[in-house]
Amino acid sequence: MARYIGKRLIYMFITLALIATFTFFLMKILPGSPIASADKLSPEQRAVVEARYGLDQPLPVQYFDYMFGLLQGDLGISINQFKGANVTDVILSRMGPSAQIGFQGMLLGTVLGILFGMVAALRQNTWVDYGSTIVAIIGISIPSFVFASMLQYWLGLKWDLFPVALWKDGFMSSVLPSIALAMFPLATAARFIRTEMIEVLGSDYITLAKAKGASGSEIAFKHAFRNALIPLITVLGPMAVSILTGSLVVEQIFAIPGIGEQFVKSIMVNDFSIIMGTTIFFSVFLIVVILVVDILYGVIDPRIRLSGGKS
Amino acid sequence: MEKILQVKDLELSFHTFGGEVKAIRGVNFDLYKGETLAIVGESGSGKSVTTKSIMRLLPEATSEFKNGEILFGGRDLTKLSDKEMQKIRGKDISMIFQDPMTSLNPTMPIGRQITEPILKHQKISKDEAKKVAIDLLRLVGMPKPELRMKQYPHQFSGGQRQRIVIAIALACNPQILIADEPTTALDVTIQAQILELMKDLQKKIDTSIIFITHDLGVVANVADRVAVMYGGKIVEIGTVDEIFYNPQHPYTWGLLSSMPSMDAEDAKLYAIPGTPPDLLDPPKGDAFALRSEYAMKIDMEQPPPFFKVSDTHMAATWLLHPEAPAVEPPEMVIERMKKFPGSRYYEGSAN
Ligand SMILES: Nc1ncnc2c1ncn2[C@@H]1O[C@H](COP(=O)(O)OP(=O)(O)O)[C@@H](O)[C@H]1O
Ligand SMILES: [Mg+2]
């Protein structure tokens, strides 16, 4: 197990290096300059500013400088969005709200999704089943910004249950964005669990459990649930991605000072080092999620043994 | 002998998109205390459905008892609530399934799978249940059972898994054990071992066994009596000797002829021509008539009743009607009948 994780860490490192390299050169190819109002500056002024951020160096030098900094955990300095602030500090200071709504959204979505899927499978072809299928379809097909706006209008404005936007009322402020983020994980989990539960409930070992005298609930929870859970792990990765991309939009709509909101702004103002830093931060997050998913597999499914040899 | 289970005029249908599948079309048999009754017949003849309906393991939504009763302990199992059935399943009646590779829960240690019915049906502590489980594993021939309780099904071979399934079935000393083709999915040597085990257990425990198989060779080994099923009905039932050496139904003749024999080296394996009847629209008369060279006109029109051959032997074929013409069974069946006192071809013990 330790050997397996060690090996995975090396792969993660290589993946990150590739992502950093790719993003770096992509940024350089794209038009636009991070220096605000660059057109209005005289060439001399411009040279001064560029020199300050090392932008006057040849590309390979810039690249190795950046990668070397990265090795030491230095993501560079914000060029214009946060004028000179350390990128790592910027990201860390913005992580709180993002992590909170992301975690709440994921938790709410998965738990409700599993519940919906279970109920739908156990009450197959009843209105409960159809109802939860409709919720799942809505959750997958309605884009999060539409859903977010609806939440703002109904729960925020009309019924005045939660703040419409901004990050001022602690937990209450996090409710609507969390719900908006929860929709995709909810729908995905519900669909997966339903399909899988129905398949598992039809398998021989469930018949054997019945033949032992197990009751309906014992069969559902002691025998079927754990087996139906296994494939859900495979979509935890895509769900985490949906939380990330969702947060870009949702944080904008709810004006939440999180990483997503800051990332979108940094793209608009071409803040090279913030874009790079956030991309790398997101990549680390995803790679860790994937590792956790693989480890979870072994925990939930005894047939999968993680070893150094094969996985 | 004491009857422990009586199946009377059982009719059961499945409701499918294609229509009503009449899977069981009037099945009658008794199971006596301590005996092994084999049910044989081609695949699709209704063996599994019959036994699953005794355990009430068929999908509630699509299956329906149309007629008849299943009497056990003075109660009609077809009428019991699910709660009442749960108390019987695994305790009074238990079941072994065909495929040991899929009949154990892959994410539950086998120890827990064995103790589950014990804890469910008996007032006993977890530790005691574990001891019982270990004893059961030893009984079914699992080496080092203590060490294996925490292991998962994938850590066992097919034969070992079937031993575990048997241990689960025996956990509460059931009065009836139903084994639905318990060796079919195993390879030949393992098959022999599991059969050996079952015969062994038969002697040690006082349980009535319903043994389903499509392999007549297995039947001769384990059964006291045999019921031959075809197209959702029992067509012939009798003691092992009666079925093997004095068979009366053309379908039984066909089954016996298609059995690979030990002595005939040149044996071309015989196969009954044609296919089993469509249970969506079962034939009016004898379901086997269309495949039988002995079919008469009445076979197409009226289902044959049971004719008594002996006190223990009955067959549903018009050939046994007093007015039916005498027919010659296939050669190899005659050879068998020559050895059976009471058959019309009996040649005496001098032979
Ligand atoms: N759940 C079901 N739904 C519809 N038809 C079924 C179902 N189970 C069994 N049948 C049908 O009932 C008949 C008897 O099947 P079965 O008892 O499994 O045969 P076997 O003798 O091989 O065990 C077959 O025609 C089969 O197609
Ligand atoms: Mg079967």
B64 min Cα distance to partner chain A (Å): 18
Q: Among partner residues B86, B88, B107, which is closest to A301 by beta-carbon distance? A: B107
Cα separation, A132 vs A187, in Å, equals: 9
Tokens of A154: 């109904």
Number of domains in chain A: 1
Q: For residue A235, which of A289, A275, A166, A276 has the smallest C-alpha distance?
A: A289
Q: Is A27 part of a structural domain of the chain?
A: no
Say what percent of chain B tops pLDDT 90.
63
Q: Ligand 1 centroid vs B51 CA: distance in angstroms? A: 11
What pLDDT is attached to residue B229?
A: 96
Q: Is A295 part of a structural domain of the chain?
A: no
A227: nearest CA in chain B? B107
Question: Are B57 and A207 within 8 A, CB to CB?
Answer: yes
| Greater model confidence, B237 or A281 | B237
What pLDDT is attached to residue A307?
A: 47
Q: Ligand 1 centroid vs A270 CA: distance in angstroms? A: 68
B49 lines ligand 1 (CB under 6 A): yes
Q: Among partner residues B102, B120, B154, which is closest to A212 by beta-carbon distance? A: B120
- Ligand nearest to the CA of residue B184, numbered in listed order: 2
Q: Ligand 2 centroid vs A244 CA: distance in angstroms? A: 51
| Greater model confidence, A303 or B19 | B19
Residues of A in contact with B82 (CB under 8 A): 216
Residue B86 pLDDT class (50, 70, 90 cuts): very high
Q: Which of A29-33, A100-104, B88-92, B291-295 has the highest mean pLDDT?
A: B88-92
Q: Is A230 part of a structural domain of the chain?
A: yes
B23 lines ligand 1 (CB under 6 A): yes
Q: What is the pTM of this model?
A: 0.83
Q: Ligand 2 centroid vs B155 CA: distance in angstroms? A: 27
B48 lines ligand 1 (CB under 6 A): yes
Cα separation, A79 vs A85, in Å, equals: 8
B149 min Cα distance to partner chain A (Å): 14
What pLDDT is attached to residue A265?
A: 80
Q: Is A174 part of a structural domain of the chain?
A: yes
Q: Is A144 part of a structural domain of the chain?
A: yes
Atom 17 of ligand 1: nearest residue by CA position:
B46
Question: Are B106 and A227 within 8 A, CB to CB?
Answer: yes
DSSP-based helix, strand, coil % in chain A, nearest 5: 75, 0, 25
Q: Ligand 1 centroid vs B167 CA: distance in angstroms? A: 27
What are the mean pLDDT values of chain A's consecutive 10-residue runs (311 residues total)? 83 88 82 65 74 74 83 77 77 81 88 89 84 83 80 72 71 77 87 90 93 92 88 80 78 81 80 83 85 81 58 34
Q: Phi and psi at residue A277, in whole multiples of 5°? A: -60, -45
Best probe of the B interface among A205, A217, A300, A305, by most B CBs < 10 A, is: A205
B287 lines ligand 1 (CB under 6 A): no
Mean pLDDT (whole number) for B174-188 = 90
> Read out DSSP for A222-291?
IIIHHHHHHHHHHHHHHHHHHHHHHHHHHHHHTT--SHHHHHHHHHHTT-HHHHHHHHHHHHHHHHHHHH
What pLDDT is attached to residue A230?
A: 83
B53 lines ligand 1 (CB under 6 A): no
- Ligand nearest to the CA of residue B45, numbered in listed order: 1
Q: Ligand 2 centroid vs B44 CA: distance in angstroms? A: 7
Q: Is A271 part of a structural domain of the chain?
A: no
Q: How far is CA B246 from the centre of its chain?
A: 20
Q: Which residues, other chains included, contact B148 with Cβ-Cβ below 8 Å and sequence gap of 6+?
A: B110, B111, B137, B142, B155, B156
SS3 A214: coil
Best probe of the B interface among A200, A207, A208, A215, by most B CBs < 10 A, is: A208
Question: Are A213 and B117 within 8 A, CB to CB?
Answer: yes
Average pLDDT score over chain B: 90
User: B95 CB near a chain A CB, below 8 Å?
Assistant: yes
Domain coordinates in residue numbering, chain B: 1-92+178-351, 102-171
B155: nearest CA in chain A? A303
CA-based Rg of chain B, rounded to a whole angstrom? 21
Atom 14 of ligand 1: nearest residue by CA position:
B46
Best probe of the A interface among B17, B56, B80, B107, by most A CBs < 10 A, is: B107
Tokens of B232: 């959702």
B157 lines ligand 1 (CB under 6 A): no
- Strand-pair category, B233-239 with B176-180: unpaired
Question: Are A223 and B94 within 8 A, CB to CB?
Answer: no
- pLDDT over threshold 70, residue B261: no
What pLDDT is attached to residue B351?
A: 47
Q: Where are the beta strands (DSSP E) in chain A?
A: none
Q: Among partner residues A204, A215, A216, which is closest to B97 by beta-carbon distance? A: A204
Cα separation, A282 vs B233, in Å, equals: 66
| Greater model confidence, A93 or B149 | B149
Q: Which helix (H) or strand (E) holds B89?
A: none
What number does CATH give the domain B1-92+178-351? 3.40.50.300
Atom 27 of ligand 1: nearest residue by CA position:
B44
DSSP state of B347: -
Please identify, by atom number, the ligand 1 atom nearest to the C-alpha of residue B229: 21
Pocket test for ligand 1, best of B48, B278, B281 (most atoms within 8 A of CB): B48
Tokens of A147: 């859903």
| Greater model confidence, A282 or B152 | B152
Q: Which residues, other chains included, contact B99 with Cβ-Cβ below 8 Å and sequence gap of 6+?
A: A204, B185
Per the CB < 8 A criterion, the answer to whether B34 and B208 are in contact is: yes
Q: Is A130 part of a structural domain of the chain?
A: yes
What's A249's domain CATH number? 1.10.3720.10
Q: Is A283 part of a structural domain of the chain?
A: no
Q: Ligand 2 centroid vs B98 CA: distance in angstroms? A: 8
Say what percent of chain B tops pLDDT 70.
97
